[in-house]
A = this chain, B = another copy of it.
Amino acid sequence: MGWYGPLVAMKALTSTRGVTIYAVAERAGVSIATVSRALRDPGLVAEATRARVEAAVAELNFMPSRLGRSLAEGRHAANGIVFPDLVGPNYAEVLLGNEEAAADLGRSVLILGTRGRADPTAQVLDLAGRVDGLVVMGQTVADDVVAAIAASGPPVVLLARPPVAGADTVTAENEAAGAELARHLLGHGYRRFAFLGDPAGSPDVAGRYAGIAGALADAGVRPPAPLRCAFDVTAGHEAAVTLLKRRTRPQAVICANDEVALGVQEACADHGLDIPTDLALTGWDDVMTARFVGLTTIRQPMRDLGATAARWLHERINQMTGPARTKVLPTQLVVRRSCGPHDPD
């Protein structure tokens, strides 16, 4: 849809702006309606007529205007995706997964980062006016904004964010994975834990912490209070310095994401502490670095998150109705050496 085969595609390479459907119609000696039909559904037009139109199109290198078409059709053939500040290397995967799936469905993708911008709300609303569907990732805009768009604007799919009325939601498993991670660490025999990250700052972290705390409590171990810190290496490093000053050192440090864990690792190196001998360490996300430094972590299906959002949006755009859906994609515990020695089995 929107394209007319390789031949025309190549000819269009030398096209000139401003060739309208009127020019084509005149050249072919037909009405614009016929040109439109010939292009949109060749079956509606007599063989001979179609040939004349195609010839005219080729000679004039006509390319229909998206704007004209969209205005007439009332749709943009595009989706939007709003992503938060925490666009670490892995979050870009969500974008790519989304774009790929959207492209397969014939839609373009408009991106909007909210990296410390003045008024995300205004920008998101503007974006909502340019698309047929919107993916909102994380805490980029307030719930009421999301609800309003979902109610009277394009359909919305939420990603890595708690559900909001009227919008579908896709997330990665956090709580269960946190519990599994905690149980794994308990299996190592650790009983004194630390948690680095801010549950209040992100629903993802809140879920992870909840799962961890729950599993620890179930095992009769008192969950550590979170040591709040931002989402990057520096923050992890600083938090670790604070942590290591305490009277009793934890046996295992669970971090909200890999970058924080890497910061901790740095700090430990500075203090001459060995991982995992002196301290067990875990992250979250399975960024590439985790593999190379042997960091135990949780792998998330980033690409799938983006792709699922694109597909769900497509369904909603195509009139699918029904109550808001929710999907939790499975994550995977990736055990490496940072959490302690394992029997090779």
**Chain A contacts to B: CB under 8 angstroms:** 2-3, 6, 9-10, 12-17, 63-68, 70-71, 76, 78, 87, 89-90, 92, 95-96, 99-100, 103, 108-113, 115, 117, 119, 121-123, 125-127, 129-130, 144-145, 147-148, 151-153, 259, 262, 265, 287-289, 292-293
A113 engages B96 (CB within 8 Å): yes
Q: Closest Cβ of chain B: how far from A153's Cβ, in Å?
A: 7
What separation, in Å, do the CA atoms of A64 and B126 have in the docked complex?
10
Count the copies. 2
Cα distance, A121 to B66, chains bound together (Å): 17
Measured between beta carbons, the chain B residues less than 8 angstroms from A148 are 12-15
Closest B residue to A9 using CB positions: B122
Partner of A292, one of B68, B108, B112, B293: B293
**B contact residues around A113 at 8 Å (CB):** 96, 99-100, 103
- Contact of A110 with B112 in the complex, beta carbons under 8 Å: no
Further 20 A-B residue pairs, CB within 8 A, beyond A13-B148, A14-B151, A87-B92: A3-B122, A3-B125, A6-B119, A6-B122, A9-B121, A13-B145, A64-B129, A65-B129, A71-B71, A92-B92, A95-B95, A96-B113, A96-B115, A99-B112, A103-B112, A108-B111, A110-B111, A262-B292, A289-B293, A292-B293
- A293: chain B residues within 8 A (beta carbon): 289, 292-293
Q: Please determine whether A63 and B129 come into contact, CB atoms closer than 8 angstroms.
A: yes
Q: Are A108 and B92 in contact (CB under 8 A)?
A: no
Q: Which residue of B lies closest to A87 (CB)?
A: B96
Identify the closest chain B residue to A109 (Cβ): B111
* Residues of chain B with a CB closer than 8 A to A68's CB: 71
> How many angstroms from the CA of A66 to the CA of B80 in the assembled complex?
14
* CB-CB nearest in chain B for A148: B13
Q: How near does chain B come to A284, taking the closest CB pair, in angstroms?
A: 15
A68–B74 Cα distance when bound, in Å, is 10
A194 to chain B, nearest CB (A): 21
Q: A117-B103, A129-B65 are in contact. Are A14 and B292 (CB under 8 A)?
A: no
Which residue from B3, B64, B144 sits with its C-beta under 8 Å from A13? Answer: B144
Q: With CB as the reference atom, state the residue of chain B lying closest to A233.
A: B288
Closest to A266 in B: B292
Q: Which single residue of chain B is at the shortest CB-CB distance from A124? A: B9
Q: Which residues on the B side are within 8 Å of A112 (C-beta)?
A: 99, 103, 108
Contacts of A9 in B (CB 8 A): 119, 121-122, 125
